[in-house]
């Protein structure tokens, strides 16, 4: 495993964030939008593996947060960090809602573009974790109003969204997110996409493209929730997630919930029409009411009941939801992680719940109402 080296001891950091030296990894602890922009610029210029830790709070994107890089150092951008006993960013709450990148309804929130001159020997990994992206706007033909992650490398690269909420964003194709890999891996886990919109085309929540893959799991969408996607549509393309997969690229949707997305929930197409072949799609223990596109999914153990959310704007499963404990226990390839989107235990009772949240309370109803018999 390509470990992230921590060359700067956080306990020794009196400044807001560490200034890196060429060729070594650093950990940045930031608390303002300005510090975040500086840390992104410094990390993008580094060829080492870097972490940017965001203190809990709201970071207003008065200009888009950008990470354009030609180097192959890894990046982990994570939220919920808390100072303790004089140590900056000592631990994290792991709650996505504690750290917010806010586009203010005026601009794209976050943009990462990886374009190396020469493919690296090992694939870099770019991770967003434990944070919320909201109210982004991709003006004109900008794809991904909330965030855009793009790799133009001829070699492998990996994008990961772990415990991330993307909400209330608008853009042209992929209102919430634009996720493009020329070759590589995309992982979305324990994440929520809600009320995103592509007002002039399709794919309200996310546009996903992998031109070519070399693994059975090029795209993994696990224990995530996609709800309220809106768009006018384009042909068979609907308003949930959609995009294209070339030869060798496989998308697996596991333990996930799609609900109230206009036209269709998942719309995937192959690339044989331009000579790049066709990928494949599979759903496992997931609720995907409507599929469209040219790639026909292989479906195992579908979830067909209504989700039974707590409320119209609360996408946690209620105590009487028919989907409780209906997830698949074994997650292919990568471990799921032990926290849901709220930072609470991911495995709470007999089995995983599908979706971004694990219900924490349903068995307390039995406990509170139980009276022993004489």
pLDDT at 123: 87
Provide mean pLDDT across the span 184-206.
Answer: 97
pLDDT at 213: 75
Predicted confidence (pLDDT) per residue in 277-303, tens digit: 999 999 999 999 999 999 999 999 999
Q: Which of 266, 262, 276, 327 is nearest to 297 (CA)?
A: 266
Q: How confident is the model at residue 74 (pLDDT cuts 50, 70, 90)?
A: very high
- pLDDT at 207 exceeding the cut of 80: yes
Provide mean pLDDT across the span 323-347.
Answer: 83
Contacts of residue 310, Cβ cutoff 8 Å, sequence gap at least 6: 316, 317, 318
CB atoms within 10 A of CB 121: 7
CB 255 within 8 A of CB 223: yes
Provide mean pLDDT across the span 4-26.
Answer: 42
- Tokens for 127, please give them: 């991770």
Contacts of residue 366, Cβ cutoff 8 Å, sequence gap at least 6: none
pLDDT at 115: 96
H helices of the chain, where?
Answer: 33-45, 362-369
Q: Which of 231, 208, 211 is nearest to 220 (CA)?
A: 208
- pLDDT at 148 exceeding the cut of 80: yes
- pLDDT at 367 exceeding the cut of 60: no
Average pLDDT, the chain: 89
Residue bearing tokens 């909201």: 134
Q: Is the dihedral of CA 171, 174, 179, 181 positive or negative?
A: negative
- Range name among 97-101, 177-181, 342-346 with the lowest pLDDT average: 342-346
Q: How confident is the model at residue 184 (pLDDT cuts 50, 70, 90)?
A: very high
- The pTM for the full model equals 0.91
- pLDDT at 333 exceeding the cut of 70: no
- Range name among 182-196, 236-250, 354-368 with the lowest pLDDT average: 354-368
How many Cα atoms are found within 13 Å in the side-chain-facing hemisphere of 196?
43
> DSSP 3-state assignment of 37?
helix
């Amino acid at each position: 495993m390509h470990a992230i080296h921590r060359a700067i001891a956080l306990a020794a950091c009196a400044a807001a964030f560490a200034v890196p030296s060429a060729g070594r990894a650093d950990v940045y602890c930031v608390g303002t939008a300005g510090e975040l922009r500086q840390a992104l610029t410094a990390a993008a210029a580094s060829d080492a593996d870097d972490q940017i830790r965001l203190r809990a709070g709201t970071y207003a994107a008065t200009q888009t947060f950008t990470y354009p890089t030609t180097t192959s150092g890894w990046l982990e951008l994570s939220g919920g960090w808390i100072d303790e006993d004089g140590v900056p960013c000592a631990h994290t709450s792991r709650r996505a809602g504690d750290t917010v990148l806010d586009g203010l309804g005026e601009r794209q929130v976050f943009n990462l573009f990886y374009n190396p001159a020469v493919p690296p020997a090992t694939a870099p990994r770019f991770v967003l974790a434990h944070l919320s992206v909201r109210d982004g706007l991709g003006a004109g033909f900008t794809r991904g109003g909330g965030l855009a992650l793009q790799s133009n490398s001829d070699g492998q690269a990996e994008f990961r969204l772990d415990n991330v909420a993307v909400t209330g964003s608008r853009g042209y194709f992929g209102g919430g997110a634009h996720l493009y890999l020329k070759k590589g891996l995309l992982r979305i886990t324990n994440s929520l996409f809600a009320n995103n919109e592509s007002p002039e085309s399709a794919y309200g929540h996310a546009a996903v493209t992998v031109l070519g893959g070399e693994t059975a799991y090029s795209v993994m969408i696990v224990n995530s929730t996609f709800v309220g996607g809106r768009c006018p549509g384009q042909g068979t393309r609907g308003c949930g997630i959609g995009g294209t997969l070339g030869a060798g690229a496989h998308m697996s949707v596991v333990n996930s919930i799609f609900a109230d997305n206009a036209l269709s929930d998942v719309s995937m197409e192959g690339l044989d029409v331009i000579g790049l072949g066709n990928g494949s799609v599979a759903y496992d223990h997931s609720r995907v009411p409507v599929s469209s596109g040219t790639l026909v999914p292989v479906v195992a153990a579908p979830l067909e009941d209504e989700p039974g959310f707590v409320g119209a704007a609360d996408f946690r499963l209620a105590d009487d939801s028919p989907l409780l404990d209906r997830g698949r226990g074994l997650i292919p390839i990568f471990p799921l992680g032990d926290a849901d989107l709220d930072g609470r235990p991911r495995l709470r009772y007999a089995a995983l719940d599908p979706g971004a949240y694990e219900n924490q309370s349903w068995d307390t109803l039995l406990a509170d109402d139980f009276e022993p018999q004489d």
